[in-house]
Homo-oligomer: A and B are copies of this chain.
Amino acid sequence: MGGSLALALRRSGYVGVLLGAGGSPEDLGLAAAARYPAADGTAPVFDRCSDDPAQLPWATVDLVVLATPPAALPEMFRRLREWIPATTVVTDLASVKGEIVATGAALLGRRYLSAHPLVGGERHGFAAATGDLYAEALVLLTPGAAGADERALGLVPFWEGLGCRVRTMSPAEHDDALAATSHLPHLLAYAFMASLGDSDALRDLGGSGLRDFSRIAESDPALWTDILLHNREAVRRRLQALRHTLDDLDAALAEARAPALEEVLARARSRRQQFHFPPRT
């Protein structure tokens, strides 16, 4: 997420200073070596990369984008509070907001404004970074209870400048919606694959349907454990509704009630047709 954002910034014409921190040694090496086309040939994407964020020149930083798993954020907020000037804006890209936003707002105040760009994929690390990851994406901004100050609202033109659309909602609205549109689908794809048991005899028998349905089950298990636990109340509510639907479908199958089955399938299809999804790239 962070590497793709740096590439997207350079592609959009940003020629200012970019500092990178964190990631594995391999990621940092790839990030430090990455270049982009500039007026006089090529230029480094990152002006400086470090495995120790404490070493960066924090007094010069206008905007901090935290592209880390949710569990790492509270400690990052605490450390940033000691490093950054009062004028620096802080955002994160986490997929879950409730406690994260409350903690960030408590520690950093109204110059902290959390963001969730609805992009991603099952791959991670700088090797998977791409400058078009954010193109035409929807970015959800989720201010804390006190709102965001003028400087933090600079994030609206920031994301729009990368070709994104921006929408604002509360952290609770975000978490309830994302439980439905992202967290429960991930849980289901994982649960489905885990339920197959010893699947050696099946591994050549998956078509394009299973390939696409289960792609998100290759997402990072540690990251998704973190996301699911942070949003476990909303995820469990959505899971409960799904289990009721599965009970109904199982009963319809057991009693071979074709009209009941077809009614649920047709309703599902019509719901799916109402969604606006990003185009396949």
Contacts and interface: CB of A to CB of B under 8 A. Distances in A.
A261 B229 contact: yes
A167 B207 CA distance: 15
Contacts of A119: 207-208
A256 to B, nearest CB: 6
What 9 pairs across the A-B complex have the smallest Cβ distances? Answer: A221-B265, A211-B277, A193-B268, A212-B212, A190-B268, A194-B268, A195-B245, A225-B262, A221-B266
Given A217-B268, A272-B218, A184 B192 contact: yes
A83 interface: no
A245 B193 CA distance: 10
How many copies of this kind of chain does the complex include? 2
A191 B186 CA distance: 14
A194 B252 CA distance: 15
Interface stretch (A35-43, A74-82, A235-243): A235-243
A236 B210 contact: no
A254 interface: yes
Interface string A267-281: 111011111111010
A249 B187 contact: yes
Interface string A170-213: 00000001101110111111111111110111111111111111
A192 B181 contact: no
Given A204-B275, A213-B216, 8 more contacts: A120-B209, A138-B205, A181-B207, A191-B246, A196-B241, A206-B275, A217-B268, A221-B266
Interface residues of A, number: 88
A209 B185 contact: yes
A214 interface: yes
Nearest to A207: B118
A253 interface: yes
Contact of A253 (B200, B202, B235): B235
| Most B CB within 10 A of own CB, among A167, A186, A187, A206 | A206
Contact of A191 (B180, B226, B264): B264
